[in-house]
Structure 1
């Protein structure tokens, strides 16, 4: 049974042609997932969409969230990518989380939110300390709105404090990053496969 993953790149750069360290980290995870039989179908540059502020699944004319929401829920795994800004996840990432708040009121007859049985992992990059805090922000919020977080679900890189090297500028992927990506992909693929066969009862 082929599993599908969708990546959300929550960089502040709206143009997909602009290079992004978050894209580079997502690519590392994409390769690791491919080796585990999971297809990364697309990386969405969220800042390039008109995701309106609000906490419903449709904020009216011109809102791109309904289409993105449908795309997200058509996948088994979401790779939630975010850079670290001011020690936190990006404002774009927070906007996505806020829109997922609607899941709380969209339960089925068994009390299951639309995200039930789907997994979320993170791809975090930054040039300062804060990766653990960024993951904590994402994991708590995503779990609140029904996502399953597998064991070892974070792949991150932070450069030297006050340094100027970005992840996308590295000449090769650090060994520990590749090792972690493989573990993230393996654990997520395993758990997603189990949940697909045996969904949460609610």
Structure 2
């Protein structure tokens, strides 16, 4: 089983990402269950805006698309900006919109029988809104969203320390992240055993 973590930080490598630091807890818990984990940071790639899989030219989204189709588990990793998902996360979802019209050989949409979850950080509130926005879009595309398939961390209202600068709230965020990994793996395993079949009119 494979998992793909898509980081939607605004920071290009090698700048450290606070949200990726929390996502590492989820990745480690999945690896402990035998899952192969792959990572991509979209800020490092040339991914122009659009709603198709391949825009041609220097577009690097097609490679990400292939990695999506190679993974049974997707984890979207997004910071919170102004209480909302990052602009990179929005662009990712817009490019994934093309998957609505793509089907597997048996006729099922390509996102079916795959699960997804969300990891969010920010030094202000808004994590639940970010989780809802991303999870709702992924469900529209066809992903299955298990119960408790997210974790987040925030400092609280107003400016303050960032995730790596404090131990505040880490115990809860980490335990919730390990539960998230457990649920993602369990539901992905169930779907592999009994996949959703193609719909027949």
TM-score higher than 0.5: yes
> Residue 115 of structure 2 corresponds to which residue in structure 1?
119
> Residue 53 of structure 2 corresponds to which residue in structure 1?
57
Instruction: Give distance in 2, aligned partners of 1:131 and 1:120.
Output: 17
Where do residues 22-171 of structure 1 align in structure 2 (5 Å cutoff)?
22-40=19-37, 42-108=38-104, 111-171=107-167
> Residue 4 of structure 2 corresponds to which residue in structure 1?
6
Residue segments in structure 1 that go unaligned for 5+ positions in a row: none
Give the SS at the match of 1:137: helix
Task: State the TM-score, normalizing by the size of structure 2.
Answer: 0.93
Instruction: Give distance in 2, aligned partners of 1:106 and 1:143.
Output: 15
Residue segments in structure 2 that go unaligned for 5+ positions in a row: none
Contact 1:20–1:168, Cα closer than 8 Å, also in 2? no
Judged with a 3 Å threshold, the aligned counterparts in structure 2 of structure 1 residues 108 and 174 are, in CA distance, closer, same or farther, namely closer
Contact 2:155–2:168, Cα closer than 8 Å, also in 1? no
Cα offset, 1:58, TM superposition: 0.6
Give the SS at the match of 1:63: coil
Q: CA RMSD in A?
A: 1.6
Cα offset, 1:156, TM superposition: 0.4
Contact 1:5–1:77, Cα closer than 8 Å, also in 2? yes
Task: State the TM-score, normalizing by the size of structure 1.
Answer: 0.92
Cα offset, 1:171, TM superposition: 4.7
Equivalent of 2:172, from 167, 171, 176?
A: 176
Give the SS at the match of 1:121: strand
